[in-house]
Amino acid sequence: MSWSDPQVRRRFWVEVGLAALTAALALLTLVSREWVEWLTGTDPDGGSGALEWVLVGTLAAVCAVSAVAARSELHRRPVTG
């Protein structure tokens, strides 16, 4: 089964989208840590950068789980009636 197969469920695309979004946000956080402060208008960690590192780790973990779930969904066996 491939990504262009019409039997691929919507769940696959949601998982791929989530993986892409979290990967982009993790990379953005590594490049520019100020986006969190810009978005919230506050400095939640007092400038230490601890929040950003937790955010990068969390986003990377969600990305990995979503990517594995999407791969599993792509290679699932279709239910035959």
* Tens of pLDDT, residue by residue, the chain (81 residues): 555 566 778 899 999 999 999 999 999 989 988 888 888 888 888 888 888 899 999 999 999 999 999 999 888 866 655
CB atoms under 10 Å from CB of 52, counted, come to 19
- In angstroms, the CA 8 to CA 10 distance is 7
pLDDT for 75 equals 85
Select from 46, 51, 62, 61 the least CA-distant residue to 29: 51
Give this prediction's pTM: 0.78
Quote the pLDDT of residue 51: 87
**Would you state the pLDDT for residue 18?**
96
